[in-house]
Every structure is written in C-alpha cells, then in structure tokens.
Amino acid sequence: MYRTHTCGELRLTDQGKIVTLAGWVQRSRKFGGITFIDIRDRYGITQGVLNEELNSKIDNNIPGREYVVQLKGLVVERSSKNINIPTGSIEIEIKELNILSLSKIPPFTIEDNSDGGEDIRMKFRYLDLRRSVLRKNLELRYAISRSTRNYLHENGFLDIETPFLIKSTPEGARDFVVPSRMEPGLFYALPQSPQTFKQLLMVSGFDRYYQIVKCFRDEDLRADRQPEFTQIDCEMTFVEQEDILVMFEGLIKRIFLEVKQIALPNAFQRMTWEEAMWNYGNDKPDIRFGLTICNLRVLSDIFPAFSKSTATSPLYLKNTGFPIFDEAQSILAICIPTESEITRKEIELLSEWVKRPQVGMKGISYIRYYSDGSIKSSFDKFYSESFLKEIVLYCKSEPGDLILLLAGPEDITRKAISELRLFMGEKLRKRNPEEYKLIWIIDFPLFEYNSELGGWTARHHPFTSPKLDQIELMMKQDPKILNQEAYFEHPFYNIRANAYDLVLNGNEIGGGSIRIFQRELQEKMFAAIGLTEEDAQYKFGFLMGAFEYGAPPHGGIAFGLDRLCAILGGSESIRDFIAFPKNNSGRDTMLDAPSKISLRQLKELNL
C-alpha cells in the first residue's frame, strides 16, 4: 500500500503519528524556505509542509498541479487552522517526498467551476471527473442505487440478469442491432428494456424481480438523451395497481431519506391522466405550484369527464366578433397572481415567446383584474366589462391577477398553455429545485391515435392491461377507425389502462403497468396496433406461448436512474451523472467512437 491514511482522514487526534499519504497535488506554494503542498484524493485534502532542509534539496523542482506524489511525515498541529476542511487542524511535516507520476498542465482547471468548455471536458473526461462536482454526482448515483438495492432486497426482490443479445422487435423506438458472425445475415438486437424477460420471469414464478440495467434506443438524440441509459427495472406477481404504487412509494421514500435526508409524506398524491391534462395541460404536471388551467372553452370530446363543465364558461360558445376567440376550438387561461410585476412590455415578450414555432400560437391575450376591482383586457373592444367580469369570476381570479389567455386548436393550445404555465412558474420562482413534489398519474388511455399510421398505438406499451371492466369491451370491438377526424369517438379512445407514472417536479421518473397475462387479450392488443397474426407470432410468440402455461397476474415499473440522479443532484443534465456519456450526436469524443472497423472484421461479419 502506498499510503497509511487517505487525504481526508487525519485529525488533531492523530498528532504525532508518522503517516504516509498519496494523492494529487492540488496546489503548492513556496514561501521563502518553506513550501506548502496540498494533496488531494477522493476523500479530502491535506496540507503538507516541506521543511527548509528538504525544501532546499528540491530547490525549484516543486511538484506541479496534478502530479501524483507520496508524502511521508509527521502529523502536527497547524498554527493557522482551516475550518473549512475536516483536516484543517493538522498538517504533515514532510520527511520524504516521492513523485509517483508527473502531469502536464491540464487543458482546463480542475476546480468546482472549471474554465473548460463542454467539448474539451468531454474529450478529457478523465480529468473532468476529478472535479469534486462530478465526483459527488457519481457518489450520489451510487448512493441511490445502493438504497434501491437495499430496499428491494428487504422486500424480497431478486436481482436477475436478463440478456443483452436478444431479438429485434422494434415497436416504436429503433433497435441497435449486432450482426452475427456465426450466422451471416442475421442480427441480435440490444434491449430497449428487459420488458418481455421480466414478464417471463413472473411466468416462471420468480415473484419479485429487479435489475439496475442498461437499455438502448437508437433514437435521433434530443438534448439530454443518451443512446444507452439505465433503468431500475422491477416486476411483481399476484399484485394489483395499488400494491405497486405502495411498494414503490416506499422505494422513493427510502431513497430520499437515505440520500437527501428528506422525509417525504406517507402517501404520494394521485391524479388521473384526464385531470392532469385538464388542469395542467400535461401528463407530468409540476405540482410545486398552482397556476392551473382555466378551461374557458373546449370544443372537443377528448376529455369526457370534464369537457361538459366548460359549458358554463362565458366564452363557451360565444361569438362576438373577436376572431381569435371566435375561431378557436379551445380557449385556455392561467391566472398570474402578480399583476403589478408584469409590464406591458413583458407581456409582449410573452407573446413573442408563444409565437415561436416550437409553441406555435398566434399570440397571447390577457385580462388585468386590478386590485380596485376594475378590469382591462387586450380585447376590450369586443367585450363589455361585465362580460370580462364573468370570465374573471369563472377563472376564480383574485383582484390583482393577470389572466393570460391562449386560443386555438385544442392540441397545440393545451400544450402551449402548459408550457406558458411552466415558464411563468419559473419566472415567479415557484420551481424551487430544493422542493420535491411527487405525484402518481394514473388511468392513462390504453391507446393513442397515431395519425401517421392512421390507427392505434399502445400509449405505454403493448403489454399493458386495460382496466378489468374494459377487457370485454376491448375484446369485442373492431379496432378500425371509420372517421379519422373523430378517433376519440371510437370506444378504444375511452379504454383506460392499468398504467401509472411517477412524476417528480414535472419530470416523469418512473412508469409502469399491470400487464396482460392472457394470450387472447395479448393477441387482440397486437391486432389493435396493427400487427398481423404472423408478425405477432414471429416477434412475440415466446411470450404468448408462455401465457398458455399458467401465467400469473403481474405488473411492474421502471425508473429512469439517470434522470432521478439529475433531479436529486439538482442538475438539468443527465450527462453530469454518467461517468462516460455520449455527446448530443451519440459520439464518445474521448474514445472517438463510433469508428471504422477493420476490413477483416467487416469480412468476418459479411458486411
């Protein structure tokens, strides 16, 4: 061993000991005849002092930044203590100094706030990882996975490894494939998730399974997506939705308690998908703040439980000559309780913001409800003040509020108001990263209409079970949609799934479902999403076969570990929580991969 102690270990009580430390030179300073050398390792930093004799021998060859050195010496009390670090009361009187390894000057400073840009830090990732910010991120990641393993172990889950070289069955996302050398022309695929394997394990009777496992999706990368990512993947037998929600609330509570020392409430809030869409315009609502949507007009049947409630809105069917409203399928609003702070100029900027192509609205309307009770709007000439008052009342607005309104087609308007809500929440500093609000979103639609395919796709995935009382409806119904404009009139539109997402501060951190375990229902599901019988058999014959030999009811969930780490670490970027991530083009710039392979390799693979 090159050391007797780490660089974070020595205290005043170690005074008088002869110790050996090894680590990286954080900095060295020469003051006349004395040199101070701070050495660093994962555990901390310790100050060493070269006495005059040794100092004179070293002369000007003081080890530079990031040199790896070994110090032997005596632990002594420091005259001027540094209370900011745990070892700050002592220093090492160096008797022997060995340079183990030299270092060139790093291409960027290895400090909490590095001067290096993203590209150079990615290329020299091994140096970036020396920064304590990144080191703490990976330590946090380990702490989360450790808590996860302990909790699941205590609850009887078995960690079972599933294969990485599997069969390509792309539904939705693209597979990465691996050419077979032994069978030219054939391919393995890398798993997008261990979904079918964990279901087979339930059929095998393993009862409770988990795995912290890499998954792969060959998608066009958006910012902060990685082609390989890690899931906490779980499955349970003989359970209903309620059992899963309770079990995994327990997991998340355990992680927060152990990793963040935060005690979360005993039961998390729950909200149906329809409620979430209606009130937040989003199936992953950030519930740290209100500003919920006021539905002033919704001329569509896509929210059967709520749409009728808008009929009492003053704007419901009113036609008053204001074309933006008159022509709108939906008119949605949010009430901002800080009228005085938002100037006309700022509203104009908001208007520009919603007009960006990503949002796609034509503009923003507003009503100012002054503290004195008077009301003014951006569309005064079309409506009387008493009518505006009706709107204000319908929106349950308070004096002092600013009401922002968007009008247009239901889909883009709801998306836009949802984004506007988040934007305003941010602006009003209501999205505190130190506040953690969790909510289960339940009762998702089983199907989703896909206009490209002109048919249904599975909203979660095709292994998700419909609600028990809707199985019969689903089995009987022809999936064909007669009129593409009114797909929500098809009975499939209203089938709800036993599916659930866990949402943390507006981010989906996990999702799962109770699964189909009956062959007939699974066949019907595949047919509904447009797989021919042959296709279904070719791709998933093994699973449907398994359902014929005593498949138990089962369900599960998967959490995105990268995202969970990022949120708990208070960061926007999952890359900061992955040791060796790819960049936004899917490249590893440190390795320079992907890269060419040799002709011999290509030939062997018959490519």
Q: Which is nearer to its own copies, 168 or 351 (CB)?
A: 168
Binding positions for its own copies, 542-561, rule CB under 8 A: 542, 545-553
Structure-token pair, residue 285: 């609502």
Show the tokens assigned to 277.
Answer: 């869409």
How many CB atoms sit inside 10 A of residue 128's CB? 22
593 binds its own copies (CB under 8 A): yes
Does 576 participate in binding its own copies (rule CB under 8 A)? no
Exposed, middle or buried by CB within 10 Å (0-12, 13-18, 19+), for 541? exposed
Q: Report the site for its own copies in 92-151 (rule: CB under 8 A).
A: 100-104, 106, 124-127, 129-130, 135, 138-139, 141-142, 145-146, 149
Cis amide prior to 462 (ω within 30 degrees): no
Handedness of CA 14, 19, 25, 29 (dihedral sign): positive
Rounded CA-CA distance 232/211 in Å is: 6
Q: How far is the CB of 103 from its own copies (least distance, A)?
A: 4
How far is residue 580's CA from residue 567's CA, in Å, rounded to a whole number? 19
Q: Which is nearer to its own copies, 129 or 262 (CB)?
A: 129
Shortest Cβ 454–its own copies spacing (Å): 18
Closer residue to its own copies in complex, CB, 253/554: 554
**Binding test (CB under 8 A) with its own copies, winner from 483, 596, 599, 603:** 596
Q: Is 534 in the site for its own copies (CB under 8 A)?
A: no
Among positions 10-39, residues that touch its own copies (CB under 8 A) are: 22-25
State the minimum distance, in angstroms, from the CB of residue 101 to its own copies: 5
- DSSP-derived pairing of the beta strands 90-101 and 402-408: unpaired
User: Between residue 142 and residue 181, which ones bind its own copies under the rule CB under 8 A?
Assistant: 142, 145-146, 149, 153, 158-168, 170, 174-181
The token pair that represents 548 in the structure block = 């014929």
Binding map of its own copies across residues 272-311, x = CB under 8 A, - = no contact: ----------------------------------------
Identify which of residues 251 and 406 has a Cβ nearer to its own copies in the complex: 251
User: Which residue number, 113 or 598, has a Cβ lying nearer to its own copies?
Assistant: 598
Of 187, 306, 423, 488, the one binding its own copies by CB under 8 A: 187
Q: Considering beta carbons, is residue 385 or 548 the nearer one to its own copies?
A: 548
Smallest gap from Cβ 452 to its own copies, in A, equals 14
Among the residue ranges 329-337, 347-355, 373-381, 588-596, the one whose residues contact its own copies (CB under 8 A): 588-596
Least separation in angstroms between CB 496 and its own copies? 21
Using a 10 angstrom Cβ sphere, with 0-12 exposed, 13-18 middle and 19 or more buried, the burial of residue 492 is buried
Q: How far is the CB of 214 from its own copies (least distance, A)?
A: 5
CB 375 to its own copies: min, Å: 54
Quote the tokens at residue 454: 């002109």
- Rounded to a whole number of angstroms, the minimum distance from the CB of residue 174 to its own copies is 7
Q: What is the sign, positive or negative, of the torsion defined by CA atoms of 508, 512, 513, 514?
A: negative
**Least distance to its own copies from the beta carbon of 598, Å?**
8
The helix/strand/coil state of 173 is coil
CB closer to its own copies, 207 vs 508 = 207
Q: Which is nearer to its own copies, 184 or 323 (CB)?
A: 184
Residue 358 CB, shortest distance to its own copies, in Å, is: 23
The 3-state secondary structure of 453-497, one letter per residue: CCEEEECCCCCECECHHHHHHHHHCCCCCCCHHHHHHCHHHHCEE
Of 211 and 378, the one with the shorter C-beta distance to its own copies is: 211
Question: What dihedral angle (degrees, nearest 10) is formed by the CA atoms of 219, 223, 229, 235?
Answer: -80
Site for its own copies in 55-84 (CB under 8 A): 66-68
- Please, which residue, 209 or 369, has the CB nearer to its own copies? 209
Q: Collect all residues with Cβ–Cβ distance below 8 Å to 555 and sequence separation of at least 6.
A: 235, 236, 239, 240, 241, 244, 465, 498, 512, 513, 514, 515
Local structure of 181: helix, strand or coil: coil
Which tokens sit at 200?
A: 């087979």
- State which residue, 16 or 550, has the beta carbon closest to its own copies: 550
Cβ distance to its own copies smaller for residue 68 or 332: 68
Of 111, 112, 115, 183, the one binding its own copies (CB under 8 A) is: 183
Asked if residues 156 and 208 have their Cβ atoms less than 8 Å apart, the reply is: yes
Encode burial over 89-107: b for 16+ CB neighbours within 10 A, e otherwise: bbbbebeebeeeeeeeeee
The only residue of 1, 223, 263, 482 in contact with its own copies, by rule CB under 8 A: 1
> For the chain, how many residues are written?
607
Of the pair 40, 437, the CB lying nearest its own copies is at: 40
Q: Which of 456, 517, 526, 559 binds its own copies (CB under 8 A)?
A: 517
In the shown chain, the binding pattern of residues 243 to 262 toward its own copies, with x for contact by CB under 8 A and - for none, equals x-------------------
Backbone angles phi, psi at 35, to 5 degrees: -125, 130
User: What is the closest distance, in whole angstroms, from the C-beta atom of residue 68 to its own copies in the complex?
Assistant: 5
Looking at the DSSP bridge assignments, the partners of residue 499 are 513
- DSSP letter at 106 equals P
- Say how far apart CA 227 and CA 176 lie, in whole Å: 9
Asked if 401 contacts 339 with a C-beta cutoff of 8 angstroms, the reply is: yes
Size of the site for its own copies (CB under 8 A): 118
Q: Interaction with its own copies in 337-396: which residues (CB under 8 A)?
A: none
Contact status, residue 511 vs residue 245, Cβ threshold 8 Å: no
CB half-sphere exposure, 237, CA atoms < 13 A: 18
CB 578 to its own copies: min, Å: 7
